[in-house]
Structure 1
Amino acid sequence: MVQSSDSGRRPVRRSTVTGMDSARRGFFLVLGLVMTGLAVLGAFLPVMPTTIFLILAAACFARSSPRLEAWLMDHPRFGPTLRDWRRYGAISRRGKTFALSGMAVGYGVFLIGSRPGLWLAAGVGALMLACAFYVASRPAPPAL
C-alpha cells in the first residue's frame, strides 16, 4: 500500500481512472470499427455514403487507437479526403458532386419506393436539403 502524506489523506487510486479510460477507449474502438464496417458497406451500396462513416471512424480511432487512426489517415484511397476534412473542413468538387448526386438519387428512391405522405416527404426533403446545403457550403481543399 502507498504511504499517505502527513495530512492523513489517502492517495487517489489510479486503477479507477485507468479502468474508466479503458472503458471509454474500448467504446470508441468498437464504435470506430462499426463506422469502418458501415463505410465498407457504403462502398458497395449505391445510396449509402462512405466518406462520412470514415470521418467518424477516424474521429473514434483518434480517441482509442492511434494505430488504426494512422492507418485510415495514411490510406492511399481515403487518406487524402480524410486529411482535407480534418485540416480544412474541405470537400473536393468531385466529392461534393458525388455526395449531392447520391442525396438526390436517394431521395428519388425514397419517394418512388415508399410513396410517403406529403408531410413525411416534405420533412425528409427538408432534412436532405439542409444536408445538401451543408455539403455544398464546405470549402474546396487548397491546391498544393
Structure 2
Amino acid sequence: MNRVRRTFWVIGGSISLLLGIIGIVIPLLPTTPLVILAGFCFGKSSPKLHHWIETNRYFGKYIQEYQKGNGVPLNIKLFAISIVWIGILSTLWIIPLILVKITMILIACGVTIFILTSPLLKEKEINKQDI
C-alpha cells in the first residue's frame, strides 16, 4: 500500500507541476500555488523529487519561503482567489443541482479563507535574498 500511495503522490505532484509550468504562459493558471502543491506532493513521495523542486532555480525560492512559513506574495494570493471564484461562478451556471452548487461555494469559501490566512511574503524579501 505504501508504494501505491507514493505513486499517487508522485503523479499528483507531476500533474501539479505540469499545470504550474503551463500557467507561466497561460495567465488563467496560477503558477505559484500549483508549484507549492507539487513540492508538497513530492515531499510526501520522493526525497529526490522534493530536493529537486526545492533547489530548482525557477521555483525553489517560492517553495523554500513557503516552507519557512514566510508565505506567498500578495499578487499570487489575489490571483489565486480570483481564479477560484471565476472558475466556481462560471461553473455554477452549468450545474443544475442546488446541493452541488452549495458544496462548490463552500469549498471556494474554504480555499479563500485558507489563502487569505496563510502568511504573506513581500516581494522585496525574496529580492533581497537573491542579491
Give the structure-2-normalised TM-score.
0.68
Alignment of 1:1-144 (within 5 A): 23=3, 27=7, 28-43=9-24, 48-62=29-43, 63-66=45-48, 68-88=49-69, 90-112=71-93, 114-141=94-121, 143=125
Letter matched to residue 85 of structure 2: A
User: Higher relative contact order by CA 8 Å / sep ≥ 6: 1 or 2?
Assistant: 2
- CA displacement, residues 56-109 of structure 1 (integer Å, 9 cap, x when unaligned): 32234334242x333322333322221121111612101111111111211221
Q: Aligned pair count?
A: 122
Given the superposition, is the C-alpha separation of residues 46 and 110 from structure 1 closer, same or farther in structure 2, using an over 3 Å criterion? farther
Instruction: Find the residue that maps to 1:88 and give its secondary structure.
Output: coil
SS at match of 1:119: helix
Per residue, is there more helix in 1 or in 2? 2
Distance 2:6 2:107 in 1: 32
Aligned residues: CA RMSD:
3.1
Q: 1:51, 1:110 → 2: CA distance? A: 23
Partners of 1:117 and 1:49 lie apart in 2 by 28
TM-score of the superposed pair, with normalisation by structure 1: 0.63
SS at 2:46 equivalent: coil
The alpha-carbon deviation at position 46 of structure 1 amounts to: 5.6
> Larger Cα Rg: Structure 1 or Structure 2?
1
